[in-house]
Copies of this chain bind each other. A is one copy, B any other.
Amino acid sequence: MSYTAKYFPTEPTEPKVLTETIPGPNGQIGIKSLSEVYDTRCTYFLADYEKSIGNYIVDSDGNTLLDVYCQVASIPLGYNNPTLLKVAKSDDMARVMVNRAALGNFAGVDYEKSQRNLLKFAPKGQKYIWNALSGADANELAFKAVFFNYQSKKRGFSNGFTTEEEKSCMENQAPGNPELAVLSFNKAFHGRLFASGSVTRSKPVHKMDMPSFKWPKAEFPSYKYPLDENKDFNDSEDVRCLEIVENFFKTWHCPIACIIVEPIQSEGGDNHASRTFFQGLRDLTLKYGAKLIIDEVQTGCGGTGLMWDHERYELSPPADLVTFSKKMQSAGYFFHDEELVPNMPYRQFNTWCGDQRLMMLSAAICQEIQDEDLLKSISTTGDYLFGELEKLQAKYPTYLAKLRGKGKACFIAFDMPSGTIRDSFLKKMKLAGVNMGGCAELGVRLRPTLTFEVKHAKVLIDAMSKVLSTL
């Protein structure tokens, strides 16, 4: 019996679209009313989360859509998952919620269990965890850990700071506030706060008008597809991009303390890179005394068929820090080297130091993935789905270009000929019963839950066939 058959017995077998537009009349009234107190310009529709179930999201007009976007890739196990509802309704959860602890000062007696339950699912080679509240927060806290380590190493890990360091940091000046850089890549997305925004290079709207740090932007490989027919070009693309990175290490006006990179650049267009490229980054960071941060915010927690996508590259030594959020619900970074714990207390610190409630949810999600063998089933679905998409691509080569994500479960994307056509396609897909999301200028990305099965993939392919025939 499949997971959804077992746990979502009332999940619909197909979408149901009742209105001529989405949002329909009810949704339009609701959005208008909401807009009095909230910016609704990005609202696609109002969802009815009480009625949504499994892989289907229901809107306020009763439209029932297969959801392959899933709250921007952040629903792990389907709507109203019974296992998670049980955890959410537990006395332990209520207690943690109403007595939210300052975990760094007054952790509860059950906190160790929460940490250990989550650490069980850490990427290979990672031994520790530090907790955050969002992907952007996780990345910025990871930068802090790296900067602390970089400067502490220069001090020989001595305790305390010099008077000059203390005085200058209070004035936002060196040496207390040194110039140190984080290298990121063209089209990267790592968040929208000020340091995370400085390494985000996806779209102008993500960072326009914000003061930023003057940090280097390298090039992420831009491969030709299908991969197996373009090996030589793609190999030389790796070499070219790694040379650019090395050149920054040699020439940047201040030390580059770390590289941050996504295993698959998601918001930036689902851009993939090879093991050679990632191991090359690992080698360069070692050569130049920098750290490697892998941003698994969108890729992590099983979406690509591995618990952590970068594990497929078996980096040696492992990445220094691995950040997570989204499907995990809680956020933070894993690390393996105790040196990344600052050598003095209260440096990596804030009032809450994370959210135990979310950690409990994370651990329950990871446990369910393991207990129910969901990595295997999502990979099976992905193999089927990729095959079907290849057939569609053969039929509509203009509309499904650069099909990518083969062997990475349902973490699949393709490009359409223009942003206008893509947007119109996504709109039509909603009316055909499927909620899908875009990425970058031309991309369509699939981000279903880990409970997405072949039967759901068939619904998706049917709807796509129908819509593509109308373009």
Residues of A within 8 A of B (CB): 30, 33-34, 37-50, 52, 57, 60, 71-72, 74-75, 79-81, 84-85, 88-89, 91, 93-102, 104-112, 115-116, 119, 128-130, 133-137, 140, 143-144, 147-148, 150-152, 161, 165-166, 169-173, 176-181, 191-195, 198, 201, 204-205, 207-215, 217, 325-326, 329, 341, 344-352, 357, 361
> By the criterion CB–CB under 8 Å, are B134 and A351 in contact?
yes
CB neighbours (8 Å) of A91 from chain B are 89
Closest to A67 in B: B106
Among the interface residues A119, A179, A211, A351, which one has the most CB atoms of the partner chain B within 10 A? A211
Question: A172–B178 Cα gap in the complex (Å)?
Answer: 18
Complex A-B: 16 CB contacts under 8 Å: A33-B112, A39-B341, A41-B345, A47-B108, A47-B109, A49-B96, A49-B109, A74-B351, A79-B99, A80-B95, A140-B194, A177-B211, A177-B212, A178-B209, A181-B211, A193-B194
Question: A325–B410 Cα gap in the complex (Å)?
Answer: 38
CB neighbours (8 Å) of A128 from chain B are 37
For A98, give its contact among B34, B85, B110, B204 (CB under 8 Å). B85
Closest to A148 in B: B209
Question: A107–B35 Cα gap in the complex (Å)?
Answer: 11
**Contacts A109-B48, A134-B133, A217-B171 given; does A71 touch B97 at CB 8 Å:** no
Question: A99–B52 Cα gap in the complex (Å)?
Answer: 9
> By the criterion CB–CB under 8 Å, are A111 and B208 in contact?
no
Write the nearest CB–CB distance from A97 to chain B, whole angstroms.
4
Write the nearest CB–CB distance from A321 to chain B, whole angstroms.
15
For A99, give its contact among B80, B341, B352 (CB under 8 Å). B80
Question: A33–B107 Cα gap in the complex (Å)?
Answer: 13
> By the criterion CB–CB under 8 Å, are B135 and A137 in contact?
no
**Contacts A38-B115, A172-B214, A211-B178 given; does A205 touch B100 at CB 8 Å:** no
CB neighbours (8 Å) of A101 from chain B are 47, 49, 71
> By the criterion CB–CB under 8 Å, are B211 and A180 in contact?
yes
> By the criterion CB–CB under 8 Å, are B107 and A34 in contact?
yes
CB neighbours (8 Å) of A210 from chain B are 144, 147, 169, 177
> By the criterion CB–CB under 8 Å, are B100 and A71 in contact?
yes
Closest to A298 in B: B351
Question: A191–B133 Cα gap in the complex (Å)?
Answer: 14
Ordered nearest first, which 10 A-B pairs have the shortest CB separation?
A41-B345, A194-B195, A88-B94, A151-B209, A172-B212, A84-B98, A166-B204, A71-B102, A177-B212, A133-B133
CB neighbours (8 Å) of A152 from chain B are 209
Write the nearest CB–CB distance from A60 to chain B, whole angstroms.
5
Closest to A134 in B: B133
Question: A345–B211 Cα gap in the complex (Å)?
Answer: 20
> By the criterion CB–CB under 8 Å, are B345 and A147 in contact?
no
Closest to A97 in B: B88
> By the criterion CB–CB under 8 Å, are A172 and B215 in contact?
yes
CB neighbours (8 Å) of A50 from chain B are 95
Closest to A325 in B: B351
> By the criterion CB–CB under 8 Å, are B204 and A161 in contact?
yes
CB neighbours (8 Å) of A326 from chain B are 351
Question: A193–B54 Cα gap in the complex (Å)?
Answer: 37
Question: A49–B94 Cα gap in the complex (Å)?
Answer: 11
Write the nearest CB–CB distance from A304 to chain B, whole angstroms.
18
Write the nearest CB–CB distance from A180 to chain B, whole angstroms.
5
CB neighbours (8 Å) of A106 from chain B are 43-47, 57, 71
> By the criterion CB–CB under 8 Å, are A42 and B104 in contact?
yes
> By the criterion CB–CB under 8 Å, are A134 and B211 in contact?
no
Write the nearest CB–CB distance from A441 to chain B, whole angstroms.
13
**Contacts A37-B129, A97-B88, A192-B349 given; does A109 touch B204 at CB 8 Å:** no
CB neighbours (8 Å) of A140 from chain B are 193-194
> By the criterion CB–CB under 8 Å, are A39 and B111 in contact?
no
